[in-house]
Amino acid sequence: MVVFPPCKINVGLHVLYRRKDGYHELDTCFYPIPFTDILEILPADQFSLTISGSTIEGKIEENLCTKAFRLIQTNHHIPNVAIHLHKILPTGAGLGGGSADAAYTLLTLNQLFDLKLKTEELAQYAAQLGSDCAFFCYQQPMIGKGRGEILEPSKSWLKNYYLVLMKPAIHVSTALAYQGIQPKNNRPSIESLLALPIEEWKNVVENDFEKGVFAQFPAIQKIKEFLYDVGAIYAAMSGSGSSVFGIFADEQKGKSISHPDIIWHGWLTA
């Protein structure tokens, strides 16, 4: 069975406060982007995970796809599988590619072995693998709270807008991004801000990671400025970086942009 795990962008991201468990309380909108990896899972006598495309560091047993399989195998006693991941989505980009691969491993195993697990059950498993994994069990924009695992459907839809996604040759670790964070609570929710006309987002919809990341990596800030210069209605860094996206109302304007750091562009479908 072959599936196509998509990435996400964060349209607004507030870091509200540091929790007693060491995590940060978040408020964000996860938005699915039809830019994907390729994942194949087949029944097999022995478990294996092979990877092609972009290089992924770390041991096979530490890969999120392996962890997702082990989680389902432990709880539902499924047989072994052979997993092949063709990696296209960049790492260290704030796009959630590894989380998408893990969630789609869960979704595919559920279908392959007819486990009849509901989406909410799969999301609970996914939340054990990573803070944004649960989002990828859904096929629509979601407001994420808690660590990002508490989800509810967003009323904000960007279908028929054109997206340009850019990433410089910079890897931003989540740990480094959090070092530049100054949490701030008691402010309007992301969902309420996204209810405003999109033309107003530029001034009110913020990603709290930008200030610290831009200070460390000015080249990422320059990409955001570039997207506004060429006509984006709204532009922002996704997640903890280093990718930056621009939303355009005009397809031709989006398509006409020439820049070596563009990694994907196309219509938003959700």
Tell me the two tokens of residue 10.
Answer: 């964060």
Tokens of 28: 């964000």
Whole-Å CA distances, 58 to 19, 51, 61, 63, 66 = 29, 12, 8, 7, 12
Question: Which candidate in 8, 145, 167, 224 is catalytic?
Answer: 8
132 flagged as catalytic: yes
**CA end-to-end span of the chain:** 24
Task: Using the CB atoms, write b or e for 137-149: b if 16+ within 10 Å.
Answer: bbeebbbbbbbbb
- Annotated catalytic residue: which of 27, 37, 101, 132? 132
Residue 27 is among the residues annotated as catalytic for this protein: no
Shortest CA distance to 194 belongs to which of 134, 234, 166?
234
Nearest-5° Cα angle at 121, 119 to 124:
110
Catalytically annotated residues: 8, 132
